[in-house]
Amino acid sequence: MSKKVPLFINGEFVQSRASHTVPVINPANQEELAQVPFATLEEMQLAVASAKNAFKTWKEVPTPERARLFLKYQHLLKQHQDEIAEILAKENGKVLADAKGDVWRGIEVVEHACNVSSLMMGETVENVARAIDTYSYVQPLGICAGITPFNFPAMIPLWMYPMAIACGNTFILKPSEQDPLTPTRLTELFVEAGFPKGVLNVIHGGKEQVDFLLNHPDIQAISFVGSVPVAEHVYRTGTRNLKRVQAFGGAKNHMVVMPDANKEQVINNLLGSACGAGGQRCMANSVAVLVGDAGNWVDDIKQAMTTISPGSWDQPEAAYGPQISVKARDKILGLIAQGRKEGAKCLLDGSGFTSKTHPRGNFVGPTLFDQVTPEMTIYQEEIFGPVLLLLRAKTLSEAIELINHNPYGNGTSIFTSSGAAARKFQHEILVGQVGINVPIPVPLPFFSFTGWRKSFFGDLHAYGKQGVRFYTETKTVTARWFDDQVVSGPNMTISLQ
């Protein structure tokens, strides 16, 4: 029988008493790697109590001391990057190079958390009125919680709890039940770094456990990454309970290809973005808008796409791995069939792909559709697979209008050699993250991850300055120290005197 994934409560890894468990499956061969328990109500209450008790002392730890612990943590993560990546690859399906990238992008956020002392500096003005000074402090909120998806089991948890904890909060993490082994290893290294008990707690589960976090009165802030329907539920439920919420939803990202762009560079970047991680990225460019004469590049795109082949994490020649589950694969296959039915021209169909070495794997081969229209289901829905759609536009303005009409606004990019075209695009596009000759414009942690519209529900985004603001509250102090001079009479106005 496979091992049971532990919970992490009050500084201890504990075996859950839950009767309900689900298997953790290697998507390349259907091997059962572990059983993950859905935490009981009592266990979740213990996690909250642990976080609540730890907050009393953790918030008083000086910010330089908190930073030093994160310096130790990032050092351990770097030491164990390859090991973490192998765990991630087996349970998630990513090829090893991509798994290492997943871990590294998380490490970058931990490095940013090491700068917490300067990030939490307040403001001050002397003599706002005669002998009166005003200054502000940035202080932690209390207990925060994070709910993370399957597609980045290292990076996205590391987006959340390091920033929250560095700011002086305590944290409860609910990782995806589909790949919980990676977050468990991250937690083991967190313990090794020397953090106090109760600062981080980890529970496992599904909707019931998510709703517990959303409704518990002691939890002050919720960070979520997942699909649009769930993101909207998280946002509405959490805010109704007077919590801060940042909920990242789905995406339909477009790459605009101008005819003056370097064709080889465009194709390499486009296919890497569309098919990397099997298309299971919220920042994948799944739509290419070919402007003007760039529409003549279709045969070249198709030819390049035929050279891409999926495989297992331990096959160096594999371009990407399997889909996370049979259910995810079958959804993609259904949308490919629907695209054909609705009249899109399928230039390359990967729905029949089977790996010779891993015939039971959840693989979908690279798939290319041309003559797609905005009314088609494959354009309206997030496919989340290695499926690229080609649309045409006569002008850049037409391409911008197409993208701005789409309900999502996570990321977009333009490939061009024209500064004027790039400037027009970045100014007029209604999307939160824009790449210029960059296919996946995920910002480094000192900026913030800024999806718009249906791709994000909330006000303050992840990491960067906005992440610090999300996990803190500002206290403003106005102070005057009296000397021997007595002000005559009461001040009956609102002004400072």
Q: Which residues are catalytic?
A: 282
Across 89-184, the runs of DSSP E, i.e. the strands, are: 124-129, 132-140, 143-147, 170-174
| 321 vs 280: CA distance, rounded Å | 10
CB atoms near residue 442 (< 10 Å) = 17
User: What is the separation of C-alpha 191 from the centre of its chain, rounded to a whole number of angstroms?
Assistant: 23
* Cβ-proximal residues to 420 (8 Å cutoff; 6+ apart), any chain: none
| 289 vs 300: CA distance, rounded Å | 15
Long-range pairs for 374-380: beta carbons < 8 A, 24 or more residues apart: 374/402, 374/405, 374/406, 376/339, 376/342, 376/343, 376/344, 377/335, 377/338, 377/339, 377/342, 378/335, 378/336, 378/338, 378/339, 378/342, 378/344, 379/252, 379/287, 380/252
| 349 vs 91: CA distance, rounded Å | 26
Identify whether the C-beta of residue 312 lies closer than 8 Å to the C-beta of residue 409. Answer: no
| Residue type present at position 34 | A
End-to-end CA gap in the chain: 75
* Cβ-proximal residues to 121 (8 Å cutoff; 6+ apart), any chain: 138
Instruction: State the chain's maximal CA–CA distance in angstroms.
Output: 92
* Cβ-proximal residues to 486 (8 Å cutoff; 6+ apart), any chain: none
DSSP H or E run through 22: strand 21-25
| 309 vs 329: CA distance, rounded Å | 16
Burial class (CB in 10 A: 0-12, 13-18, 19+), 264: exposed
**Phi and psi based region of residue 464 (left: phi greater than 0; alpha: psi -120 to 50; beta: remaining):** left
| Token pair for 215 | 């409704």
